[in-house]
Amino acid sequence: MKLTESIAYRNVKGRPARSAALAALTALMAAAVVCGTLVVTSLQNGLSALEARLGADIMTVPASAVSKQNFENIVMQGSRGYFYMDMSYYEKAAAIEGIEKISPQLFLASATSNCCSVPLQIIGFDPETDFTVTPWIRKSLGGELKDLDVVVGNDLSVFVGNTITFYGVECNVAAKLDKTGTDLDTAVYTNFNTIKKLIASSIERGMNEFADIDPERVVSSILIKVADGYSVDEVLNDLNLHVRRTKSFKAKDMITDAADSLMGVAGIIGVLMAAVWILGLVILFLAFGMSVNERKKEFAVLRVAGASRKRLSGIVMSEAFIVTVTGAAVGIAAGLLIILPFNGIIEESMGLPFLLPGAGLTVLAGVLALAVSAGAGAISAAHSAHRIGSIDTGVILRGEN
């Protein structure tokens, strides 16, 4: 028998308002599951991508930079901003005992690029000493970065072979990086020679806050890997003690804020999902119960007409199944239509690393939401189905109950 010819389907269709209301409630519950799962997974992915790119144990920056707004995001996530310190601090830091690798970086925010009015963050690294950027640039580039070559973040709409102009200096796009879900996706990476040219050009044009610096003698941050046998805290204390006018941080501590925010957001999402589900389950339970109560006579007539008790329970369960699965499918589609296309604005409003999961995990989240919603419908209707299976036909038809 076709589904559309079944009693359950006709019952659902015969009460469009009630069915639509229950389906809408299930849609809300399914959307809460799919949206919540995708948002929390994306935040976790973003944090993992950020952690994966953390190659250094310690970061040293000019002490004056710490007061800069958004300072941690500048050094960790490629947000726009720049500051400089004299190269002598790098030399002093390199002389500290217990350092395995040390490499400087230079930052510059472009004023305008050739496409649009929004500036980009340019990160310069020293290819001879670098140990943090080069490993993942090599994956995309497959070779060395030449002078005036740049590697662009995944979100920039420029492609390998294009040119991009900063402060009048034309650079070639040599490679595009994998997505991280952070501002690093809109940053530009280049070697020390190129960024020094760009800084010099920005100073010449009067577009650099630090007009009196010599680009050949400055660095923005120093990345340090601690040698085996030395503790990170020990080296960190030495750096803070001996390299004055700089501030050193444990790199992992700097993503603690992002991790704490993620826990906070995950907690809020969890509470909201729980609230929607508890409310939804109570309403579904009451709605199915009331619906069966109202239709006791209808079921009694079916029983008299020869329908078994099992069949009556089956009708109630089928009705619940049709309503909840339809509602859940709509809710999942709506949830995906919100999260997938609008992930950019969600990322921006949260201000946290946000990396959507792959197609497989997204489908899994949808299937999970569908299964959980259908299960919730079945649980809510089970009690009513059991009750209708044990009705006393005679009593009901005589109108005594």
The distance of closest approach from Cβ of residue 69 to other proteins in the complex, given in angstroms and rounded to an integer, is: 18
The distance of closest approach from Cβ of residue 342 to other proteins in the complex, given in angstroms and rounded to an integer, is: 5
Under the rule (CB under 8 A), what is the footprint of other proteins? 113, 115-118, 120, 155-158, 185-186, 337, 341-342, 344-345, 347-348
The distance of closest approach from Cβ of residue 119 to other proteins in the complex, given in angstroms and rounded to an integer, is: 9
Burial of 378 (0-12, 13-18, 19+ CB in 10 A): middle
Taking CA 51 as the corner, what is the angle to CA 196 and CA 148, rounded to the nearest 5 degrees?
A: 20
The distance of closest approach from Cβ of residue 53 to other proteins in the complex, given in angstroms and rounded to an integer, is: 19
The distance of closest approach from Cβ of residue 9 to other proteins in the complex, given in angstroms and rounded to an integer, is: 17
- C-beta of 46 vs 377, nearer to other proteins: 46
Burial of 17 (0-12, 13-18, 19+ CB in 10 A): exposed
- CB neighbourhood size of 309 (10 A): 15
- C-beta of 237 vs 349, nearer to other proteins: 349
Burial of 269 (0-12, 13-18, 19+ CB in 10 A): middle
- CA–chain centroid gap for 69, Å, is 23
- C-beta of 212 vs 348, nearer to other proteins: 348
- C-beta of 80 vs 296, nearer to other proteins: 80
- C-beta of 10 vs 245, nearer to other proteins: 10
Report d(CA 211, CA 125) in Å as an integer: 21
- C-beta of 60 vs 182, nearer to other proteins: 182
> Among candidates 170, 190, 193, 189, which has minimal Cα distance to 180?
189
Report d(CA 7, CA 23) in Å as an integer: 18
C-alpha distances in angstroms, 160 versus 6, 49, 164? 59, 23, 11
- C-beta of 290 vs 340, nearer to other proteins: 340
Report d(CA 40, CA 355) in Å as an integer: 10
Is 55 within 8 Å of 49 (Cβ atoms)?
A: no
The structure tokens listed for 10 are 């006709």
The distance of closest approach from Cβ of residue 77 to other proteins in the complex, given in angstroms and rounded to an integer, is: 12
SS3 call for 182? coil
- C-beta of 116 vs 305, nearer to other proteins: 116
- C-beta of 132 vs 182, nearer to other proteins: 182
Taking CA 93 as the corner, what is the angle to CA 92 and CA 95, rounded to the nearest 5 degrees?
A: 70
Collect all residues with Cβ–Cβ distance below 8 Å to 342 and sequence separation of at least 6.
none
The distance of closest approach from Cβ of residue 128 to other proteins in the complex, given in angstroms and rounded to an integer, is: 31
Is 307 within 8 Å of 391 (Cβ atoms)?
A: no
The distance of closest approach from Cβ of residue 78 to other proteins in the complex, given in angstroms and rounded to an integer, is: 12
- C-beta of 142 vs 341, nearer to other proteins: 341
The distance of closest approach from Cβ of residue 81 to other proteins in the complex, given in angstroms and rounded to an integer, is: 16
The distance of closest approach from Cβ of residue 63 to other proteins in the complex, given in angstroms and rounded to an integer, is: 30
What does the DSSP assignment read for 85-140? EEHHHHHHHHTSTTEEEEEEEEEEE-S--SS-S---EEEEE-TTT--SSHHHHHHH
Please give the DSSP secondary-structure letter assigned to residue 145.
Answer: P
